[in-house]
Each structure stands twice: as structure tokens, then as C-alpha cells.
Chains A and B, each alone.
Chain A
Amino acid sequence: MPAQARLPGDKAANKAAASTALLRSLAGGLLIALPVVAIGLLVMAFAPAYLVRIAFAAYVNLLIVLGLQIFMGNSMVANLGQGAFVGIGAYTVAILATPIAMKKMSIPNAPFGLSHIAIDPLAAAGAGLGIAGIVALLTGFVVARVSGEAATILTFSLLMIVHSVFIHWTDLFKGAQAFFGIPQVVSLQTAIALSVAGILLARLFKDSRVGLQLRASAESLLAARAFGVDVVRLRLIAWVVGALFCAAGGILYAYFMGTINARAFHFELVLTTLAMLILGGLRTVSGAVVGCALLSILLEAIRTLENGITIGDWQTPPLLGLSGLAMGGVIVFSMIFRPKGMIPRLEFDEALRHWWGRRRSAGTQTGPETDSTSDGEASKAR
């Protein structure tokens, strides 16, 4: 029997183990967040303005990918509707926080008298999260209880519905035109801070009871139900939390760019964030971060190529569709050759601990180290 075998009634030991696990998750999250912060600080210190903007977009994408990971990675249900929540967050903030003078120009006929009020950015952000949460709750009610593939179709329909509302309700959302005048109150620091918080939360969620049971249900629905796991409730929780993350990304985006447009929250966003998560690895938070970083760089390179580059005297023709092709290609090749992504199972800190444990046991030759309950045993039991 493992050295840490606990009697079921040993409440104090359980509590101690739980808090160790919590601290471990937090530490793991901080480790994953470290390169994110480092890159951000470098960009802030040395990069020209256009690079700052690109980096900011990458951080926004990171938040969205994290939200995607929370739902998709734990429940293994493909989610194609993240653009809807990003848009809801962004537009709520745009409508509520834009100064009244601007609003009278862009949306003079807004219903509910919204063109006459303007609230402060923080409150508007809260409202954005709140509304996204409500929509997530209502839609999650359906998404959580249908089977996995049907749920995916419904998330896609959600994307289409929300997009069509944005485009057609021009009185409120300005349709396909840009909604300008949003107060630009955030900077790269906020983005970095929010990303770190997001990584920690995603990691905590994954290692929490909800996350663990959800992942179990993804492996075998029948067994999980037999254990009394309420899969519908768990999926709902993951869906709402993921949606809040996406809305936060949208809010950040709106407050940085100062102007938003419904097309930014449609297919391209869904495709990019999906490709990032799949490339990096669905099941791990580290995978989300790695995928986001890699594809942000790749996407920038491809976008420059798409617009045509000039090498000396020679101008390459614009190749519209190249970025979409690349994203789709990334998804297809990842699915065929490495479906679990680049970081399939072990988070950074788990891998480190695993490697450290193996080195130590190889050095002392006393057999597998009983380093912890979870990591060593679980990864061997697989």
C-alpha cells in the first residue's frame, strides 16, 4: 500500500492533503505563467508600438484559449462558440462605457435609452461579465445536456445567432460598421496581469474536484455516472467559467483597441483560438499557453506574407486565404499526427517533478520514489 494511504475518516489528513494539492496547483500555474510574464515585460520594455499591439492581441487570444481549454479540455466537447462570448463582453463594454458624446454620433437610436448613459469602465466590465454569464447559463442549459457532438453543433449555432444579432440590430450594435469611441483604459500591464490570473484559475479548475470529475466523465461517461457524478451540472459550470474567460478577453480587446467590429468575433477568431488550443494540447493549461505563443508568431509571419512582401525589387502577390489555410492545416495535421497536442498530458511542473523524481531514483537506486500521491502513481497506473 502506498505510504500515504488514508483512512476515510481521517479528516485532518484529508484537509492537509487538499491544501498541499491546492498549493501545488498554484505553484504549477505560476510556473506556467512565468514565461508569459517574462515575454510581456520584454515587449513592454523594448518593443516598438506595433509589436506591443501584436503582443496585446496575443494576450487577448490567450485568455480566450484558456477559456476554451477550461471547457473543451476538461469535458472533451468541442466548442465552436467562443466568438459569441468574446463579442458579448466587448459589445457590452462598448455600449455602456463609451462617452455620451460619442454615442450620440454612432448609436443615436439605441433602445432602452442606452445612448444617454455612460458608466465607468470598471463597472461596465463587470456588467459585461455579468451579461456573458447569464447568456452562458441559459445556453449552457441546453449545451450541457445533449451529447457531445450535438453540443458542438449547438455552440456553432450560438456563434451564428449572436453574430447575426450583432449584424442586424444596427440600432444598438452598429452592424457591420466599426463601433468607435470606446475609452482606451488598459495597457499591456493589465493584459499580463489578467493572463496570469487566468492561467492560475484554469489550473486550479483543472485540478479541482469539478475539473477532475469532468475529465473522468470525458474518459468514460458511463463509469462517471455510475460513480454519481452529475455530468450535466459539471459541464454547465465549465461552460459558464469558460464563457466568462472569453468575455474577459473581449472586454480587454475593446478597452485596448477603442473600436470594435462584429467581424472580429466570428469565424476567424474561432478558428485561430481553436487551432492554438489543438496545437498546444487540449488537456493541459501549459498546452494552451504554448499553442497560443507558437501560433501568434506563425500567424504574424503568415499575415505579412498574405499581404505581399517586397524583396528588393520583387513584390510577391497578395495571397488572400493563406492564414485560413494555415490554421486549417494546423488543425488537420495536429489531429492526424498528434491529436493530443504538443503538451499532451503533463503540465510543466508535473513534468519537472516527474523528471526530478526519476533522476533521484536513478541516482539513489531505491526504486520509484514515493514522492506524492497523485503524480507518480497516477502516471504509472495509466
Chain B
Amino acid sequence: MDYAIQQFVNALAFGAEYALIALGLALVYSIMNLMNFAHGEIIASAGYSMYLAILIGFDSPWLVAPIAVAAGALAAMLFERIAFRPVRHAPATTGLLTAFGVSIVVQNLFTLLVSPRPRAVPVLTGLNQTIFIGPYAISSLQLLELLTVAVAITGLVLFLKRSTLGLAIRAATREFSTVRLMGVRANRVIAAAFALSGLLAGIAAIFIVARRGSIDPDFGFQPVIKAFVACVLGGFGSLGGAVFGGMLLGFLDVAIVILLPQDMGGLSDAITYSIIAALLVWRPDGLLTRRIELGDKEI
């Protein structure tokens, strides 16, 4: 029973992390039709900003965490301004490849300017303690992560529903030109979306680094691939789909790791992806979307 509870919390925590990253991806895609391959580098930027903060002398996690979040938002807006704005109106493939290129450039910049080897970021590992709720042992980090993700998603929903900018973003996902006709500046809406996406990425970075204890040039890349798959699973472009896909992927991951015999552990990713591929054959547009006929005007 202990084991089951622990694995359940595990699955929730992983799912929450994927959901967080996937939300950032879905936000950008729903507005700009851009698959932001560079999202991993936004996470990495947040991680490296924490490393730099420690070098400067900030020691407490309460100081370093906000820096990471802010760095994530800033990095996202920077990428948008420099690399994605010129290809804003290009076909989706161009945007995707640009993002891929940006991702590679930034990874190699970290390798070149900081170090190709992992760097320790021990300031956050203090969060990763085992606490006891009743008879069950749970990692405090996972609880914190679940809480934070819940708060973040609620905050995002409130922002999107209640604020003017949020309303503009939601409208832009449907029909961008009309939003501009209403007098809302396109640049502002897109920058806001990227900033939000970067914020979420920064939060995710905090938890990833807390768990790993170190950073290296491509540590953001791996979770982002999984998050992309989560987005595809839930239906690319829908925010709810991203969260759903993320949670589903988290549970799938943990289930497969539990069910696989020990020596085949490395193949868990392969099996997860195969299951997802099978699901996609059944529902190519994602699990949450209904089959949209080409040429349908209504979303």
C-alpha cells in the first residue's frame, strides 16, 4: 500500500511537471503556430541563471527561485524578439526549424561560455526531503511541486479569463487579425504569451534542478521532448489538452517503469513512445479533440 501511494504521488508529480512544460509549449503554439523547440533552452537559461546567482553570492532558495522564474520569462521574450519575430508569418515548418536552430545555438553557447560539463547547483536540494504524512513517506519536493503547479495553472486560468491581456491572448488563438483590428498591438500579445510561457518554464526549471542537483547544457532538452509528445497526445494547441497529455504521460511513464523488469529499464522510454504512437494512429489529432475535417471553419 505504501508503495502504491508513493508511486501514485510519483506519477502525479511527474505528470504535473510535464503538464507545466507542455502548457508553456501549448501557449506559444496556440497563438503563433510555432512549435517552440527552444523551450528546453528557456528552462536551461533559468537553470544557468540560478548557477550564476549562486556564483554572485545569493545563497537562499527563496532568493534564487524568483531569479529563475524571471530569467525564464526574460529568456523567452528575448528568443521571440531576436529569432522568432522575423519568421512570424512564415509557414510552420520554418518556425519549427528556426526554433530547433535556436535551441542548438543556445545549447552550444552554454557549452562554449560556461562549461560542457555539469555544474552543481546545490542550493535547492534542501527542498528534497522525505516527510511523513501519517504512515507514508513522501518527498517534500514532490508535494511542493504539485502545489506549485496547481497554483500556477489556477493563476494562468485566472489571468487568461480576467485580464485584458489574457482576453487578447485567448482571442488571438482564434483569429489574430481581428485582435489587431480591435487595436491590440500584436507584438504585445505575443510577447506576453512568450513571457507567460517562460514563467512556467522557469518554475519547471526550479523543480528539475532541485531534483537533479546540477545543470548541464542540454538538461532542458529531454523533458521538453516528452512535453511535446504530451502536447501531441492531448491535441496540439489546446491548453487543457496539454495538461491532460502531461498528466497522462506522467502516469504512463511511472506505470511502465513499474511493470518493466529491472534489466530492461533503459527501454522504458521506447515503450512509452510506442504506446503513444499507437494512440496517435487511433486519434491522429490528439485524444481530446474531436476529428476535425479539413476545411472546417469552426474550431
| A interface list, Cβ under 8 A from B | 76-78, 80, 139, 141-142, 145-150, 152-154, 156-158, 160-161, 164-165, 167-169, 221-222, 225, 271, 274, 278, 319-322, 324-325, 327-332, 335-336, 339
* CB <8 Å contact, A168 and B266: yes
* CB <8 Å contact, A156 and B112: no
Question: Which partner residue on chain B sits nearest A319 by CB separation?
Answer: B112
Chain A residues near B100: list those with CB within 8 A.
78, 80, 274, 331
* CB <8 Å contact, B116 and A320: yes
Q: Which of B4-12, B84-92, B250-258 contacts A (4 or more CB under 8 A)?
A: B84-92
B126 within 8 A of A: no
Known contacts: A150-B280, A161-B274, A320-B116. The answer to whether A278 contacts B236 by CB under 8 A is no
Question: Which partner residue on chain A sits nearest B226 by CB separation?
Answer: A157
Q: Which of B65-73, B103-111, B146-154, B184-192 contacts A (4 or more CB under 8 A)?
A: B103-111
Further pairs besides A157-B225, A167-B266: 12, Cβ < 8 Å: A80-B100, A146-B284, A147-B284, A153-B232, A157-B229, A278-B97, A320-B116, A321-B108, A321-B110, A322-B112, A329-B101, A335-B90
The CA-CA distance from A157 to B271 in the complex, in Å, is 11
Known contacts: A324-B107, A325-B109, A335-B101. The answer to whether A161 contacts B269 by CB under 8 A is yes
* CB <8 Å contact, A336 and B87: yes
* The residue from B91, B111, B232 contacting A154, defined by CB atoms under 8 A apart: B232
Chain A residues near B90: list those with CB within 8 A.
335, 339
Question: Which partner residue on chain B sits nearest A149 by CB separation?
Answer: B35
B96 within 8 A of A: yes
Known contacts: A164-B267, A274-B97. The answer to whether A328 contacts B295 by CB under 8 A is no
* CB <8 Å contact, B111 and A335: no
Q: Across the A-B interface, how many residue pairs have beta carbons closer than 8 Å?
A: 139
Chain B residues near A153: list those with CB within 8 A.
35, 225, 228-229, 231-232
Residues of B189-231 contacting chain A, CB below 8 A: 217, 225, 228-229, 231
B259 within 8 A of A: no
The CA-CA distance from A378 to B232 in the complex, in Å, is 38
Chain B residues near A161: list those with CB within 8 A.
269-270, 273-274
| 15 A–B contacts, CB within 8 A, in A order | A77-B93, A147-B284, A148-B93, A150-B280, A153-B229, A154-B277, A156-B228, A278-B97, A321-B108, A321-B112, A324-B105, A325-B108, A325-B112, A331-B97, A331-B101
The CA-CA distance from A78 to B232 in the complex, in Å, is 16
* CB <8 Å contact, B103 and A154: no
* The residue from B94, B105, B231 contacting A339, defined by CB atoms under 8 A apart: B94
Q: What is the interface of chain B mostly: helix, strand, loop, or mixed?
A: helix
The CA-CA distance from A236 to B181 in the complex, in Å, is 42
Chain B residues near A221: list those with CB within 8 A.
294
B281 within 8 A of A: yes
The CA-CA distance from A320 to B114 in the complex, in Å, is 11
Shortest Cβ distance from B115 into chain A, in angstroms?
9
Question: Which partner residue on chain B sits nearest A165 by CB separation?
Answer: B270
Name the interface size band of chain B: 35 or more
* CB <8 Å contact, A329 and B94: no
Chain A residues near B277: list those with CB within 8 A.
139, 142, 154, 157
Shortest Cβ distance from B162 into chain A, in angstroms?
31
Shortest Cβ distance from A294 into chain B, in angstroms?
17
Chain A residues near B231: list those with CB within 8 A.
153
* CB <8 Å contact, A150 and B273: no
* CB <8 Å contact, A325 and B105: yes
Shortest Cβ distance from A125 into chain B, in angstroms?
26
* CB <8 Å contact, B96 and A78: yes
The CA-CA distance from A80 to B97 in the complex, in Å, is 10
Shortest Cβ distance from A325 into chain B, in angstroms?
4
Chain A residues near B264: list those with CB within 8 A.
168
* CB <8 Å contact, A146 and B232: yes
* CB <8 Å contact, A76 and B93: yes
* CB <8 Å contact, A148 and B92: yes
Known contacts: A150-B236, A165-B270, A332-B102. The answer to whether A321 contacts B109 by CB under 8 A is yes
The CA-CA distance from A256 to B105 in the complex, in Å, is 31
Chain B residues near A146: list those with CB within 8 A.
232, 280, 284-285
